Each structure stands twice: as C-alpha cells, then as structure tokens.
A and B are shown apart, each in its own frame.
Chain A
Amino acid sequence: MASTILFFLFAGFAIACAVSMVYHKNPLYSAVSLVGVFVALSCIYVTLAAPFIAVVQILIYAGAIMVLVIFVIMLLNLDEDKPLTRLRYLYAVGGGLGLILLVQTMFIFYAVLRAPKDPVDTSQTAGKSLSIGQAMYTEYLLPVEIVGIMLLMAIIGGVILVRRLEPGQLKLVVDSELDKRHEEEEKDDYRIAF
C-alpha cells in the first residue's frame, strides 16, 4: 500500500516535472524541472529494489549532466525560447508523434496487464551493489571497458569542440574568409558571364 502511494506520488511528480520541462520556455526552468524528474525517478528506482542505480542516477544525471547543462545555460546566458514561427507545422508533427506514442503506451500497458505470466521471481538481490559490481567486472566487463573508451573519446571530443583556436589556425580562418569573399565576387562575375 505504502509503496503504491509512494509510487503514485513520485510518478505524479515526475510527470508534472516533465510537462513543466516541456512547457517552460526558459531553459533554466526546464533544466530544473528535469532535475525534478530525475530525482523522482531515482526514488522510484529505490522502490524497484535498485538502490545502486538510484544513487547513480542522482550522481550522474542530476549531479553531473544537468549541472553541466545548467552551467552551459548560465555561460551562454540563454534567453527564452522563441515560439515556433517559421516551422509551425511542427506542432502537427509533434502532436501526431505524441498521439502515436501515447497510443503505444496504452497498448503496452494493456498488453502487459493482460499478459497471464506472473513475475518470475520477487526475491531481489539483483539491485545490490555487490551483484551489480560482480556482473560489471565479470560478465559485463567488455561493455564497461567500452564505456571507458567512449568516455575518453567524449572528453577528447568535447575539448576539441570548445577549445579556442590556435593563432596559426586563426590566421588561416581569416585568410579563408577573405578568400571566400573574393571567390563569391568571382562567382558572381562568372554567373553573369554565363
């Protein structure tokens, strides 16, 4: 009973936060709402006997990713979202997609509710950090290693993208910009000639 109440509490909170995230035009509001979703989901994970994942959820999503996002929002000092003007048709696309996904959700809900099979096993050790750790370093060692390489790569990628240009490169950029202008003119001449 308690868990059901808790679940609906957190579920309601998560959905409300999610809606608020989409609704708010201000990116920071969205971000804060999203953190709310993460926290709510983390609590739900606890009720699903997955404490490790619940904590990691907070640690990675709320503590790292969203902090980064908020950092970027603050750094770029973003203002409010403009309303859809040029791409008005996206409302229809979004509505359609949403409808399809909702129908699908209901379908899943209905299908799983109707499925005759009962849970395979309810005694839980799966979520304990020990069993997860064991799996991670035996059976799932390869994925973990891949994740390591991927994170390394992501670091390089991030650094490449945001690093300032070196002076030599900067000169090249300026040169190429001048070239480009020159070429544009040339191209125009050529078009006329043609």
Chain B
Amino acid sequence: MNLFLFAELANPNVNIPIILPEIVIAAAGIVVMLFDSFFPGQRRVTGIMSLVGIVLAAVLLFGTWSAGMPASAWNGMIAHDNLRLTFSFVFLLVSAMTILISTIWVETEKVPAGEYHALLLFATFGMLLMASGNDLVIIFLGLETLSIATYVMAGFRKTDLKSNESAMKYFILGSFASAFLLYGMALTYGATGSTNITEIAARVADPNFPALLLVGAAMLIIGFGFKVATVPFHIWTPDVYEGAPSPVTGFMAAGPKAAGFASFIRVFVLGFPLMAGVQASGYLHDSWMAALSVMAILTMTVGNVAAIMQDNIKRMLAYSSIAHAGYAMVGFLGAGAASTVLERDAAIASVAFYMIAYAITNLGAFAIVTLLGQKNDRRTEFEDYNGIGFRSPVLSFTLSLFMLSLLGIPLTAGFIGKVLVFRPALEAQNTLLTIVVVAAVINTAISAYYYLRLIVVMFFRERTSDWVEPRIPAGIAAALVIAVIGVFYLGIFSSSIIERFSQTTQSIGSVSSR
C-alpha cells in the first residue's frame, strides 16, 4: 500500500522526463532559497544560480521538443505539445532577462535579492505549469503560484509606499479574479464531470448541464481576462505596473501575460472547441468567440487611448501592455476560428511568437526604464527623459528601437508578430474577425502617437537640467544586448523560429486521456 508512490512513478502514463523543466526550475528555486538562507547577501551568486537553472530547464525543454515524446504526462494532467513548448520558452526567456535586469538591485539597492530570485523562479514554475497544465487543477495551481509570487514581488520594495500599494491592489484584485476563475472551473467541472481539458473537450458535445458550461466559460473569461489584462478587467494594470519595481513590472507585463494567454488558449481553444454538427458546442463556441472579439476591440482601443494620456512612462507601458493583450487576442481568436488543426496550431504559434516578441521588446524597454529610474524608480515621468537622446545615445536609441518594435515597425520583432497574429484572424474570413483586425490596425496607428512621444521627448527636445548618464551594469547590458539582437533577429530572420513554433511535433488535439 505504501508503494503507491513508486508504482505510480514507474507507470508509463507518468512520463517524468516531460516535466523535468518544471522540476528543474522548482528545484533551482529551492536551492537558491537555501543558499540564500545559509550564505545571505550573495546577490550575484544567487542570480547566476538562477540563470543556470533556467538555462538547464531550457535545454531540457529543448530536449523534449522532438517527435518521439509522448503527448501527455501525469495521466493527462500535463500536455506536451507545441503550445506548452513555445510558451515555456517565452517564460524562460522572460525570467532570464528579468534576472539580468534586476542586477540593478545588486548594484544600488540592498533588497534581498536571493529571495527575489527564488520567488522569480517559483513564479516561472507557475508559468510553466500554466502552459503545460492540461487539467484545470494544474492551471489553477500554476496561476496561483505565479500570482502569489508576483504579489510579493510587486511589494518587494517594502519601504516604498507605491510598491506597497501596488502589491495590495494587485493582491486584492488578483484574488478577486481568481475567485471568478475558480467559479468558472467549478461550473465547467460540474457541466462536464471532468477537470481534464481533453475530456472536457470530448464532453463539450454533450455536457450534462449545457447552461452551466456557458456560465462557466463566462466566469473563466473574467478570470483569465484579468490575468492577461483585457478591458474591462484591466483596471488594476496601470496602478500595479506603476507602483511595482521596474524589473518586476517588466516581468509582469511579459511573463504572466503570456502565461495567461497560454492557459486561456488551452482552455478555450482546446477545451471548448467547435464540433461540427453539435449544437451545444457550436453555441458555446460562438458565444465565447463573440465575447472575446468585443473584448479584444475594447482592449486595444481603451489601452491605446488611455496610453496617450499618460505622463508616466511605466503607466504608459502598462496601458500599452493592455493594448498588446488585445493584439495577441486577435491571434487567439484566429486560433478559435481555425477550421483545421494545422491552421489552429499555426495561430497558436503566432500568439506564442507575438508574446515572445512583445516580451523581448518590453523587457528591453523596462531594462532601460529601470536603469534610468535609478533608486526607487524615481525618474519615470516623460519629463525625466527630456532631451536625453544625444546625451545617452546608446540608451535612447535602444529605447527608441523598442518603442518602434512595440509599435510594429517593419524589421523589428513587433512587426512580424503583428503580421502573424493578424493572419489567422483574417484567414477565418469571418466578418467579425475582420472587423477586429481592422480595429487592431487603426489602434496600431493610434499607438504610434504615444510610442513616438517618448522618442520625441528624448530626441526632439532639449534638456534644460543637467543629466548624468547612469553607469550600465553588466546584467542590464546583457539584457539589452539580448533584447536588441532579439528584436532584430525576430524581425528579420524569424523564419526558422516561426517554423519551429508551428511545426506540429505533437498533435495537440489528441492528448491521450486518462
């Protein structure tokens, strides 16, 4: 009887190797934590340890990216498909860059970096689970792990009121949304009798309580919508982003958002698919597609319009991140509307690509914001960037590059990302989705205004007060180099990555059930 555990591990359905990346990240988190408790203050060492852990996880993840691997693990609780793989890479990249960016803390502020690294790794663990979870339990736990870690990270600057406030708002509203998400999960479970997404997908055709499924989906939209910051569930974003320490803000804008999308896609596209000829699923599918389309349009519009009115660069980036959630949703909708598995996988890959492009660019921007913000993020108003263009040309041109990438100017990652997410939505040749795409495009044009504003402020104005260029720590320099190379690489030589992302090594639709 006590041999359950070991018998289970030897079970062919378990496939430990598949979740090795997650295990490695969690283990790295624990190791960092222990190390920090025995050798406190070794900020660089814990950073390097975390990076090593992340790289190791990436290598392992890459190792599992081959056709021979089984499509599921842990009795169907973990899905091993392109959705998981691609998004996992995004998360690992985001975390690695965040660690690099946070080296500013090592240099100037004496925050407990070891614990910060541990938390970051645990947050990464949560994100990985959100992408790989094929069961609502795993998704929920991943989401909560991620959220709890980010609540703490947002409040990491304990003596700073803004940071406290940010953490508190994030915590209250985050838990509020989690409750809705959970209610949605409960109703979905009730309607289908299962929490496994593959099984849910199978039973969507004939649910026990069709009405509950509808309500459950609505609740899930609220929960996930909060996590990815779509209108009208975005209200927390600007405040939280402004108040949280800049590296954390960068992380929140890139990582949790991508993770939210991973789960969102997993649950809706794979869990509530359209089944030909089945009325219940058709109704459900139509409903969520329509709801999300409206939300996507609102998200983009509100995000962009509000961003125009911001004077704080972190708030501006927060609203921009809302807008970007809207763009990513266009690809997501495309995945929902796809008629074949191939198209759907391509659409999902496009969202993953968009997220990776956005993450790199955004983290690059936040690296500079962090650097210029100096201690306690003091210089985050547009005014503070006045005329620094030719005083610190490297930083300003890099920041401009990121702005242009966020705007989606060709030859940058943002452009290819936009093209890729618009593609599946147009492919569906569905009036609603076409409207969404057109709205997205108009919004892109609107967004030009505020992205350019930063460039304008930096380059076209003259600085009246003196400007001391901050020294660039090695970590931030590395992050910037990665970001710049990434932006151009993804913008110009993206072919191989897109192929890699959309190449179907696993058939997502047929994750074996328990």
Touch test A–B (CB under 8 Å): yes
With contacts A112-B209, A193-B464 taken as known, whether A157 is within 8 angstroms of B75 at the C-beta atoms is: no
| Residues of chain B with a CB closer than 8 A to A6's CB | none
CB <8 Å contact, B151 and A157: yes
Stretch at the interface among A17-25, A39-47, A141-149: A141-149
Stretch at the interface among B111-119, B271-279, B410-418, B504-512: B111-119
Cα distance A49–B226 when bound, in Å? 35
Stretch at the interface among A8-16, A62-70, A76-84, A131-139: A131-139
| Residues of chain A with a CB closer than 8 A to B125's CB | 149
> Total interface residues on A, using CB and 8 Å?
43
CB <8 Å contact, B119 and A153: yes
B residues 16-70 with Cβ under 8 Å of A?
A: 19, 26, 29-30, 33
CB <8 Å contact, B212 and A112: yes
CB <8 Å contact, B148 and A157: yes
Cα distance A141–B75 when bound, in Å? 11
* Closest Cβ–Cβ distance, residue B195 to chain A (whole Å): 10
Q: Which residue of A115, A138, A147, A165 is within 8 Å of B159 (Cβ)?
A: A165
CB <8 Å contact, A117 and B119: no
CB <8 Å contact, B118 and A156: yes
Stretch at the interface among B136-144, B295-303, B304-312, B401-409: B136-144
Taken residue by residue from 212 to 229, chain B's Cβ proximity to chain A (1 for < 8 Å, 0 otherwise) reads as 100100000000000000
* Closest Cβ–Cβ distance, residue B151 to chain A (whole Å): 7
| Residues of chain A with a CB closer than 8 A to B8's CB | 137-139, 141
A87 within 8 A of B: no
B284 within 8 A of A: no
A180 within 8 A of B: yes
B77 within 8 A of A: yes
A residues 114-139 with Cβ under 8 Å of B?
A: 115, 117, 120, 134, 137-139
B208 within 8 A of A: yes
CB <8 Å contact, B122 and A153: yes
With contacts A160-B156, A172-B109, A180-B376 taken as known, whether A104 is within 8 angstroms of B141 at the C-beta atoms is: no
Q: Which B residue's beta carbon lies closest to that of A184?
A: B378
Interface centre among A137, A147, A161, A168 (most CB of B within 10 A): A161
Does more than half of chain B's interface fall in helix, strand or loop, or is it mixed?
Answer: helix
With contacts A115-B208, A149-B26 taken as known, whether A173 is within 8 angstroms of B145 at the C-beta atoms is: no
| Residues of chain B with a CB closer than 8 A to A193's CB | 464-465
CB <8 Å contact, B211 and A107: yes
Cα distance A160–B193 when bound, in Å? 40
CB <8 Å contact, B119 and A156: yes
A169 within 8 A of B: yes
A residues 149-178 with Cβ under 8 Å of B?
A: 149-150, 152-154, 156-157, 160-161, 165-166, 168-169, 172-173, 176
* Closest Cβ–Cβ distance, residue B208 to chain A (whole Å): 5
CB <8 Å contact, A142 and B209: no
CB <8 Å contact, B212 and A111: yes
B131 within 8 A of A: no
| Residues of chain A with a CB closer than 8 A to B144's CB | 150
CB <8 Å contact, A108 and B211: yes
| Residues of chain A with a CB closer than 8 A to B212's CB | 108, 111-112
With contacts A169-B110, A176-B376 taken as known, whether A146 is within 8 angstroms of B142 at the C-beta atoms is: yes
Cα distance A111–B190 when bound, in Å? 12
CB <8 Å contact, A146 and B378: no
Interface centre among A141, A150, A166, A187 (most CB of B within 10 A): A150
* Closest Cβ–Cβ distance, residue B160 to chain A (whole Å): 9
Q: Which residue of B118, B142, B158, B211 is within 8 Å of A161 (Cβ)?
A: B158
| Residues of chain B with a CB closer than 8 A to A180's CB | 376, 378
CB <8 Å contact, B209 and A143: no
Cα distance A137–B8 when bound, in Å? 9
Cα distance A157–B119 when bound, in Å? 8
A194 within 8 A of B: yes
Cα distance A134–B439 when bound, in Å? 52
Cα distance A180–B464 when bound, in Å? 19
| Residues of chain B with a CB closer than 8 A to A91's CB | none
A89 within 8 A of B: no
B residues 92-136 with Cβ under 8 Å of A?
A: 109-112, 115, 118-119, 122, 125-126, 129, 135
Cα distance A30–B55 when bound, in Å? 48
* Closest Cβ–Cβ distance, residue A155 to chain B (whole Å): 10
B187 within 8 A of A: yes
Cα distance A168–B41 when bound, in Å? 11
* Closest Cβ–Cβ distance, residue B293 to chain A (whole Å): 21
* Closest Cβ–Cβ distance, residue B83 to chain A (whole Å): 18
B394 within 8 A of A: no
| Residues of chain B with a CB closer than 8 A to A143's CB | 77, 135, 137-138, 141
| Residues of chain A with a CB closer than 8 A to B77's CB | 142-143
A140 within 8 A of B: yes
Cα distance A122–B450 when bound, in Å? 61
CB <8 Å contact, B115 and A107: no
CB <8 Å contact, B152 and A150: no
| Residues of chain A with a CB closer than 8 A to B375's CB | 176, 179
Cα distance A190–B75 when bound, in Å? 64
| Residues of chain B with a CB closer than 8 A to A153's CB | 29, 118-119, 122, 145, 148-149
Q: Which B residue's beta carbon lies closest to that of A105?
A: B215
Cα distance A146–B26 when bound, in Å? 9
| Residues of chain A with a CB closer than 8 A to B109's CB | 172
Q: Which residue of A150, A156, A161 is within 8 Å of B145 (Cβ)?
A: A150
CB <8 Å contact, A108 and B215: yes
Closest 7 pairs (CB-CB, A-B)? A111-B211, A157-B152, A153-B122, A190-B465, A173-B159, A146-B141, A150-B145
Residues of A participating in the B interface, judged by any CB pair closer than 8 Å: 104, 107-108, 111-112, 115, 117, 120, 134, 137-143, 146-147, 149-150, 152-154, 156-157, 160-161, 165-166, 168-169, 172-173, 176, 179-180, 183, 186-187, 189-190, 193-194
Residue contacts A-B, CB under 8 angstroms, 21 given: A112-B211, A115-B208, A137-B4, A138-B8, A139-B8, A141-B5, A143-B77, A143-B138, A146-B129, A149-B122, A150-B145, A152-B30, A153-B149, A154-B148, A156-B119, A157-B151, A157-B152, A161-B155, A161-B167, A176-B375, A186-B465
8 further interface pairs, Cβ-Cβ under 8 Å (given A152-B122, A156-B119, A157-B151): A108-B212, A112-B211, A120-B193, A139-B8, A139-B75, A146-B129, A161-B158, A179-B375
